[in-house]
A = this chain, B = another copy of it.
């Protein structure tokens, strides 16, 4: 069989693009409106998407209040409450949630994902994040953010504890023999008794082994330790390359680390995040994107550009190109290099560049269903990705365009499933069910 794509949706209720709530026809109230979220996920399930993923942050995003007041991102649903509610109104689509290894506890995280996996019949996935937003630390009793390397060290041990807790019960531990009165076989219960550098957790978990054995492990870190954690633990990577070349390099890099970690590269799917803007012509699609970007108020836009540059950009001429010789700072070296590259590539004015950063600055696939399907096919064949984490520019229309126009085109080409073959997220992704480390089959 030739290779096929995996597709997940990377969502905020209103869209990841901060201007989206002002787009004509947009559901500006989706942050509070469960009915909208239900309709989104049900459409994605009808289109046979692998999974639905809700972004999550442990603080209001760090922007000056002048920018913040224009952003729909100040309020959202919490992912476990949202995804559990969505589990009850869907049957097949995977449900991916973020949980922070820096600001949460392994026992809580293990329980919640195990529970979501039981409720959903094996559709849960855990996006392991170390939480990069420094404002989050201040909501959890710290005055300074935990240092990057330590966050990743803690993440690695956190993973070991959580997966160990999921393995507390053997798959066949629960007997439930009403006659003899034995509910479970105590020989098939393992008390973890973890004592490590960061955590000491006795166990066992008070939930039977998840339907999938372990919920699918997701990673979206982009740094060296992020990529290494992915190679050691992840089964799905939400990546953020800017173009085909960087995607190929990232793909080879992460998969190349896997054999040394004792893993088969086929057991990890890498899905770059891509905003998808569809038009009847490429020009129409470009015009939609330009209109969307123009809805980002200049105050918000310039604040975001300043963060990306690590330098206050509010004094620049909005309608001129980015000035040369912006003083260097420590704040964000790789971020700044990206800004300069983008300004150069697309010949953007300060205003356009700022609106790009204030709106959504990641990879975008912009065109007709045919041109986008062509691009996706190229990425798949050139080993730049195993599919995409789709970002919708505005909702519901941007999502409808993908499910009603792009997906049928991909299906016609044999690049995407016409129906689900299995019922768990692992089955959709072609991932095997992990053995229980304490009770090997």
Contacts and interface: CB of A to CB of B under 8 A. Distances in A.
Interface of A: 21-22, 26, 28-29, 31-32, 34, 38, 57-60, 65-66, 68-72, 74-78, 80-89, 103-105, 107-108, 111-112, 114-116, 118-119, 135, 138-141, 143, 169, 174, 176, 178, 181-186, 189, 199-204, 206-208, 295, 297
Contacts of A82: 84, 115, 119
8 contacts: A21-B183, A32-B208, A65-B186, A68-B186, A72-B183, A78-B112, A82-B119, A104-B108
B105 A176 contact: no
Nearest to A111: B78
Given A32-B208, A76-B207, A80-B84, 14 more contacts: A22-B181, A28-B178, A29-B176, A58-B206, A59-B206, A68-B186, A76-B206, A103-B107, A103-B108, A105-B140, A138-B200, A138-B202, A139-B202, A141-B200
A81 B78 contact: no
Nearest to A300: B181
B169 A81 contact: no
Nearest to A169: B75
B118 A34 contact: yes
Contacts of A69: 182-186
Contacts of A204: 60
Nearest to A24: B178
B80 A119 contact: no
A29 B174 CA distance: 10
Contacts of A181: 22, 70, 295, 297
A26 B82 CA distance: 31
Contacts of A74: 183-184, 189, 206
A85 B74 CA distance: 24
Nearest to A211: B32
B80 A199 contact: no
> Looking at A38, A76, A82, A115, which has the most chain B CB atoms within 10 Å of its CB?
A115
A214 to B, nearest CB: 16
A60 B183 contact: no
A68 to B, nearest CB: 7
Contacts of A112: 78, 80-81
Nearest to A141: B200
Nearest to A28: B176
A78 B124 CA distance: 14
Contact of A38 (B88, B135, B208): B88
A176 B14 CA distance: 12
A259 to B, nearest CB: 35
A153 to B, nearest CB: 16
A67 to B, nearest CB: 10
A75 B170 CA distance: 13
A206 B108 contact: no
Given A22-B181, A112-B81, A119-B34, A75 B140 contact: no
Nearest to A193: B138
Contacts of A199: 141
Nearest to A139: B107
A207 B206 CA distance: 30
A41 to B, nearest CB: 11
